[in-house]
Homo-oligomer: A and B are copies of this chain.
Amino acid sequence: MGQTIGRWLRGAALLPVALTAGVLAYAQEDDLATRLAALEESVNGSASAYVDNSYLFLIGGIIVMLMAAGFCMLEAGLVRSKNAAMQSTKNIALYSIAGLMFWLVGYNVAYPSATMLEGLVGVPSLDAFFWSGGDLSVQSDAGYAPASDWFFQMVFVATAASIVSGTVAERVKLWPFLIFTAVLTALIYPIVASWEWGGGYLDTVWGFSDFAGSTLVHSTGGWAALVGAIVIGPRAGKYFGKQVHPMPGSNIPLAALGTFILWFGWFGFNGASQLAAGTAADINAVAQIFANTNMAAVGGVIAAMITTSIMYKGKIDATMVFNGAIGGLVSITAEPLMPTMGQSVLIGGVGGILVVLSVPLLDKLKIDDVVGAIPAHLVCGIWGTMIVAATNTDASYMGQFVGVALTGVFVVAASAVVWLLLKYTIGVRCSLEDEEMGLDKAEIGLEAYPEFSRG
């Protein structure tokens, strides 16, 4: 009490000072207010995190775009030289068609404005076809440049289409293949994506977790490829009774280049699937994803080397090593953030082993997968998706299984309809003479290597 009075007395003694202070405070405050307003404008006008997020999509997007070149080199290297120009052309064509169809239809199907039947059926809004970026002068509410996200999603579609291309190589006709690609990228893939990334059935009902698309992208491509391989049938002369006639790839260094480019692009594929980079937590996550993604590929390579070395008495199989890298990468794609780096090596390593074991299995079933895309993308895609539940507590084995199974059933059914429709209308397979001669001469009128004679 005495203290309080003392304070009031001191306060009274300070009266003149207080008065002055009041006046000065007012003046100074004006200055403070002005400075604060200026600062607010500067800070609030700063698009720092917005730019960082958009850069993630843009940089991630272009290196995923380069994966189209990776697939092209891998496939051109693994087909025989008489089909290498065709395979190259097909890859440029499919990337183009994927982009066109995703713009026309796919994006709107993958990210519908409303859903029905617990999210199983998306209802695209009619005015969202022909996607456009909207008003470029303002920050989008999403927190990143609209077209940066569109671009990133589009290159994912192209990846799914690239997977099919390798499996059905050397005997599929160009135009039917491109029509299949158009349906895959306009409807089949976008419908699957809508169930999870579009906030549909798998996401809301099952808590399905597929970070960057082991199932949504890679299994989808893999299932479509599997059905294609069955409908189209094996290359002439590939299987005699129980014997498998090897048809070695014509340019292994190109296939190695393709593998490296795919590996490079995968940092964008998985890293930019974090979808944001403007905070410490987000960029930390992106960085960890880079490291884990690399370790999984490392695991796939080393596992494939050791496995083939054991199986083939000390020799390692180059194409298995390449597919081991890809298998490892696919395996980590469903969950590249949660595993430790050691777990990433193991997840990728199992992927590498699965690749090596699946290739002869497919041959036993007389399913002719020219580049080994089914083992790497489908088998490892399933494995990677299932094992998410081991490191991500938000996911359950049951939920993961439902995602894998639903995707499988739907893509197999839809692909079968399209492939069979094509088969019984315009035909999907080239004539035996064309196959013998090579599709380069038959379909695109030039040879990949006209001056290098066949050994």
| A-side interface mostly | helix
Q: Are B130 and A342 in contact (CB under 8 A)?
A: yes
Q: Are B448 and A451 in contact (CB under 8 A)?
A: no
A106 at the interface (CB under 8 A from B): no
Q: Which of B44, B264, B298 is the one whose CB lies under 8 Å from A96?
A: B298
Taken together as a complex, chains A and B put the C-alpha atoms of A380 and B325 apart, in Å, by 33
A393 at the interface (CB under 8 A from B): no
Taken together as a complex, chains A and B put the C-alpha atoms of A16 and B312 apart, in Å, by 95
Given contacts A11-B16, A263-B65, whether A147 and B290 have CB atoms under 8 Å apart is yes
Q: Are A139 and B280 in contact (CB under 8 A)?
A: yes
A392 at the interface (CB under 8 A from B): no
Taken together as a complex, chains A and B put the C-alpha atoms of A50 and B15 apart, in Å, by 49
Taken together as a complex, chains A and B put the C-alpha atoms of A11 and B21 apart, in Å, by 10
Shortest beta-carbon distance from A332 to chain B in Å? 14
Shortest beta-carbon distance from A343 to chain B in Å? 10
Q: Are B48 and A317 in contact (CB under 8 A)?
A: no
Q: Are B316 and A444 in contact (CB under 8 A)?
A: yes
What is the oligomeric copy number? Answer: 3
Q: Which of B21, B54, B316, B452 is the one whose CB lies under 8 Å from A89?
A: B316
How many positions in chain A have a CB within 8 Å of any CB in the partner chain? 148
Q: Are A256 and B455 in contact (CB under 8 A)?
A: no
A205 at the interface (CB under 8 A from B): no
Q: Mark A49-83, 1 if CB is under 8 A from B, else 0.
A: 11110110111011101101100110011001100
Residues of A with Cβ closer than 8 Å to B?
8, 11-12, 14-26, 28-29, 32-33, 35-36, 39-40, 42-52, 54-55, 57-59, 61-63, 65-66, 68-69, 72-73, 76-77, 80-81, 84-89, 91-93, 96-97, 99-100, 103, 130-133, 136-140, 145-148, 150-151, 154, 174, 248-257, 259-261, 263-264, 267, 271, 277-281, 283-288, 290-291, 294-295, 297-298, 301-302, 305, 312, 315-319, 321-322, 325, 340-342, 345, 440, 443-455
